[in-house]
Amino acid sequence: MLLADAGTSYIKILDSDSGKLKILSLAEFKDHPVLKANYVTGHNSNLFTEAIFVNELVALARGAKVIIPEKDFTILDIGSRDMKLVKFSDDEFEKCDWNTSCGAMIGFTMELLMKYFNKKPEDIKDTNISFDITCGLLGITKFFDNISKTTSIEEGLSALINGLSKFTWQFAGKPQKLYLSGGISENKVFLNHLQKLVPNLKSLGRTVLIEGLRDIDKKSSGVKNERTFDSVTGNQ
């Protein structure tokens, strides 16, 4: 059984029988032998034409319920292209939100600029400067406006990430506790900035939606699967 989260930049594929996880860039996937998934979610779901499609918010909510033990929690998934929010209260679904405009390209912007300037997370020093931005694409403009004046590239990147972290926190409702998923949840620079605003921040890695697909498959087939999948390490 293959389960796929076909994101904007990366395709995550889990073989639920073996527990083997593949994470491929979109370019790598297009050069990969054809794979036929059983269930799929994500912006590029059309790459798996024969799979059963599951809405991303549904997959996120189902995956979060499997992984998170609390009855009250908020989870925010940040990918390359958008942000998705799900909140549970007293073990029941409370609300969801999906930001594809103001939250556009947050993950992609950070990855793009880091690669463009050949910078690693350890090169980005902390700063109190924060760009007032609500969009990754607008953040690029703000970034280049500032580094052309007095701000260094490293400080500009830190200020950009600070601004994106602040917007993320505001979009989530300014919580003091937050679960984070998606590719950006593995970015230590972003996590360090966000943790200044969210003291109780926990990263779940980039496969929460995959876990949601597996839960849907398990319940649909009526087969009880006791294996748990570690969203961060990929281990069973």
* Cα–Cα distance for residue pair 37/51, rounded to 1 Å: 5
Sequential pLDDT tens for the chain (236 residues): 899 999 888 899 999 888 899 999 888 888 877 778 999 999 899 999 899 999 999 999 999 999 999 999 999 998 877 889 999 999 999 999 987 655 556 777 877 888 889 988 778 888 888 888 777 777 788 888 888 777 788 888 888 888 888 888 998 999 999 999 988 888 888 898 899 999 999 999 999 999 999 999 988 875 443 333 344 333 43
| Residue 33 DSSP label | P
C-alpha to C-alpha distances, 95 to 51, 55, 177, nearest whole angstrom: 27, 15, 16
Class of domain 69-203: alpha beta
Sheet strands side by side (includes 92-99): 92-99, 83-89, 73-78, 177-181, 200-203
* Cα–Cα distance for residue pair 140/157, rounded to 1 Å: 10
1-56+208-236 and 69-203 share one CATH topology?
Answer: yes
Q: What is the pTM of this model?
A: 0.84
* Cα–Cα distance for residue pair 157/143, rounded to 1 Å: 7
* Cα–Cα distance for residue pair 191/169, rounded to 1 Å: 11
Place of tokens 């990263």: 203
Neighbours of 98 (CB within 10 A): 16
| Ramachandran region, residue 56 (left: φ > 0; alpha: ψ -120 to 50; beta: rest) | alpha
What's the CATH number for 1-56+208-236? 3.30.420.40
Instruction: Give 68: exposed, middle or buried? Use CB within 10 Å, 0-12, 13-18, 19+.
Output: middle
8 Å CB contact between 214 and 54: no
8 Å CB contact between 109 and 90: no
* Cα–Cα distance for residue pair 29/35, rounded to 1 Å: 9
The domain ranges of the chain are: 1-56+208-236, 69-203
